[in-house]
Structure 1
């Protein structure tokens, strides 16, 4: 059996040349591309699927987390800017719920995935972003060890090269940074990550009889398991209604490999196996859900297009956000926005939340610009769940709110770096902060 094959050399056609190239169309990529384009930069957003939204649509999350924080007992929205523009478009389409309470400490906000996709398209068109769908990134070309010149992509038209002056890695997996040789960490250091889940939605629910079903489902699970009728992948269920009360989202799967560790979303074989395991678990969970009052006639209306990955690579940056930064509500002089979500650790068999002191604390930590700037490579930024964080801190700042914050800051910083002809690390931070605030972002310097 051959271990390697030599590919013949070839000339790769150039797809285009852009000032800012953004990889990944999740919340970080959306915000980064909009910020750069609004600053007047020619901007290309590259997305592997035929729609935007990242895990929010491709993995069926259907729930914005981290837009709000519990500030001394007062729950308020703390992520603004590009996020507001997207939210207003989703709301205009009738696809945005009012925020709902979680654990009595914060809120999240459900949305319709179809409305999210349409709203994101509209936002791109309004900002002047060029979007390339169905394009899978495959590697980079380097001018020098510290500078990227091109991103290689695979498309239905064949392999292409995208030339750029500034690159923003919003891939979630840190793909672009890894290809560029930037150091990264994976998982908890003990061969495991935050466990993935496959999301699904049920229809046919009686909303009146279902009521606050999320309050009774845990007890029904314990009873069903004690009777030996079901074995659940994890203990803590997250089951909530969508905009229409007849449709609910279910987050109750947990996907492990043969060793019992979380599946690695950067391993092609494990990722493939995870898809089948997730659907198999969904079939079991959906059967149990029919025992919940109001869910007797429920049926699976949608299984997410892909397994929901919470953690893979975390790229090493100029600063690494830590667990204590989150729990102690840390402040940073180079703040680009805030994270108000607690630690949400998807551990073996359960989900563990760790909160700042509520209501004693202000309930959010600053996100420093330095966590979006890699150790090396002058014209690269990292934004989203692959940014520079520890395993524990990433469990908090991987959610939508923080991703919007990092993305908008990275797109704005790329514009400033091009204007000043400087490296990412040398961007004028006060100028960056002033620009972000002028675009409606909240940096958490007053509350």
Structure 2
């Protein structure tokens, strides 16, 4: 039974007021803040860490998935606009590798250098005119008759209030929507929640001798288990070279609680367990790679992601809920605000299940409707973008990756501007005007 302590009443300082307040600096958040600021809105981007990028930096991911679509066999960059400008900034810092094929060579992904991404993201958001607040951990919301009035944060400076007119929840876990009483659901960790991972990077690899290790390593792992070795945290391992081929990234862990359930990213005790378990799994899997695969004999772990990579927790109940069938049937929507070409990537117990679009020659992408960002009921000044947007478990298993999150974020920031311009709720935004604004800024809404 939980016991409670009543804290004394106190006055909390107001740290400022902005037209748009964005919570969470992952792909959706940084795109949202950039879009709102470029439209001329005073904008604050609040991030709990000391850098932007979300799982792509703090989680050590180092790959943008979902930027490309396989359109009738042709690999096409389908997430554009502010996201491609960010790629150009990373490239100018020497941090991009040529896109590579993943998942049986059926889809392209974009590897990058994490420090370059961090620096480029700072430049990208600040050049738009947005303000950054790092090391501020959001802990609550203040609501009133007009909707959300402020976000409450804790930092080294103490507790503070951030007032705003329109709020964008791109926290990943949907923290702001939960605190404000906005309708949402949470994945069931016993079979309906994607398992988290801990990413790590390997240095001093002999690239020529390693060859296409991402193809041969899973077979070696299966053979070892068949010969009696205890099973690995996850069947197979995704290993790929970075910009300099002596350094490889590895995605080979899967984090679970002692009862087998997925680690819940909204539970601090489970997060702690996951961090410890993830580092142990990284060492275990790397030891096998080094001892059994050519080219890795002199290699070592150069970095383990400073945070575990959470894939799924809370999801908005929005005006439309994107489903797995929408993804696999390449659905079209009149209020499209971007595209997703990534397949359903289900991190199931001990394995990875990839589910592709239906048919022999699919168009290869689904559109993302504006309605997945808009609560079906709740505050009229809240938009939700990123992996916590309105999607089923299956739909979210595809559209949670960086590419569609960039697209959702740019749309959310632009919609916030239009709601302020029209003095309307976010649900009343003219989607025709929104789409026109996005296309003018280079976004791809259809092909």
TM-score range, shorter chain: over 0.9
Superposed counterparts of 1:277-426, under 5 Å: 277-290=277-290, 291-357=292-358, 360-375=361-376, 376-426=378-428
Find the aligned partners of 2:341 and 2:176 in 1 and give their Cα distance. Answer: 28
Identify unmatched segments of 5+ residues in structure 2: none
Give the TM-score normalised by the residue count of structure 1. Answer: 0.97
Shift of 1:191: 5.9
Deviations, residues 144-188 of structure 1 (Å, cap 9, x unaligned): 2x6000000001100000000000000000000000001211115
Superposed counterparts of 1:163-202, under 5 Å: 163-188=163-188, 190=190, 192-202=192-202
Shift of 1:135: 0.4
| Alignment partner, residue 252 of structure 2 | 252
Shift of 1:74: 1.0
Residues 48 and 133 in structure 1, CA contact (< 8 A), matched pair in contact too: yes
Find the aligned partners of 1:162 and 1:139 in 2 and give their Cα distance. Answer: 11
Residues 328 and 357 in structure 2, CA contact (< 8 A), matched pair in contact too: yes
Shift of 1:60: 0.7
Find the aligned partners of 1:230 and 1:338 in 2 and give their Cα distance. Answer: 41
Give the TM-score normalised by the residue count of structure 2. Answer: 0.97
Deviations, residues 232-268 of structure 1 (Å, cap 9, x unaligned): 1111311111101000011010011121011111011
Describe the shift of the 1:95–1:349 C-alpha distance in structure 2 as closer, same or farther (beyond 3 A). Answer: same
Residues 188 and 391 in structure 1, CA contact (< 8 A), matched pair in contact too: no
Find the aligned partners of 1:80 and 1:359 in 2 and give their Cα distance. Answer: 27
Query: For this pair of structures, how many residues does the alignment match?
Result: 444
Find the aligned partners of 1:182 and 1:252 in 2 and give their Cα distance. Answer: 35
Secondary structure in structure 2 of the residue aligned to 1:310: coil
Shift of 1:106: 1.0
RMSD: 1.2
Deviations, residues 262-282 of structure 1 (Å, cap 9, x unaligned): 111101111110100101111
Shift of 1:226: 2.8
Please list every run of at least 4 consecutive aligned residues from structure 1 whose deviation after the TM superposition is greater than 3 angstroms: 188-192, 227-230
Describe the shift of the 1:2–1:194 C-alpha distance in structure 2 as closer, same or farther (beyond 3 A). Answer: closer
Residues 198 and 304 in structure 1, CA contact (< 8 A), matched pair in contact too: yes
Residues 217 and 236 in structure 2, CA contact (< 8 A), matched pair in contact too: no
| Alignment partner, residue 106 of structure 1 | 107
Find the aligned partners of 2:421 and 2:233 in 1 and give their Cα distance. Answer: 51
Find the aligned partners of 2:299 and 2:226 in 1 and give their Cα distance. Answer: 24
Q: Which moved more, 1:162-171 or 1:250-259?
A: 250-259
Identify unmatched segments of 5+ residues in structure 1: none
Residues 189 and 261 in structure 2, CA contact (< 8 A), matched pair in contact too: no
